[in-house]
Amino acid sequence: MAKDFSDWFYHTTAWKKTRAAYIKHAGGYCERCRKEVEAGTRSLADMKPIVIVHHKEHLTPENINDPGVSLSFDNLEGLCEDHHNKEHKEKNKKRYRFDKNGRPVPT
Ligand SMILES: [Zn+2]
Ligand SMILES: [Zn+2]
């Protein structure tokens, strides 16, 4: 993967500390797996640990320096790999580009 604007951020002590504290706070298990277990659609044995702490409001070059977005527990969600992939795929599906006349173009 090409070097991303956010690469440096994931190497900061502030992020590493926030990430570790958040995983502890969330109880160590993927929050969506846990909801599925609660809803009865997933078995307890199939609950996955958190591998990715996801930003609900995705990081952008504009908000990455705002700790209220980048380091706020309110903006974080602990996810397993599957649920994280799903989250980003679903977001991508809904995303449209606009042509120069302002009409949405499916990507
Ligand atoms: Zn999960
Ligand atoms: Zn994410």
> pTM for the whole thing?
0.80
* Residue 101 CA, ligand 1 centroid: distance in Å: 40
Closest ligand (CA of 79): 1
Asked if the structure places residue 92 within a domain, the reply is yes
Q: How many CA atoms lie within 13 A of 63 on its CB side?
A: 12
Total domains in the fold of the chain:
1
Could you tell me if residue 10 is inside a domain?
Answer: no
Measure 91 CA to ligand 2 centroid, in angstroms. Answer: 10
Distance 103 CA to ligand 1 centre (A): 36
Rounded to the nearest angstrom, the distance between the alpha carbon of 102 and the centre of ligand 1 is 37
Whether 8 maps to a domain, the answer reads no
| Per-residue pLDDT tens over the stretch 8-51 | 999 999 999 999 999 999 999 999 999 999 999 999 999 999 99
Q: Ligand 2: distance of its center to the CA of 101 in Å?
A: 31
Query: Using one digit for the tens of pLDDT, what is the confidence trace for 42-74?
Result: 999 999 999 999 999 999 999 999 999 999 999
- Tell me which residue range forms the domain holding 83: 25-106
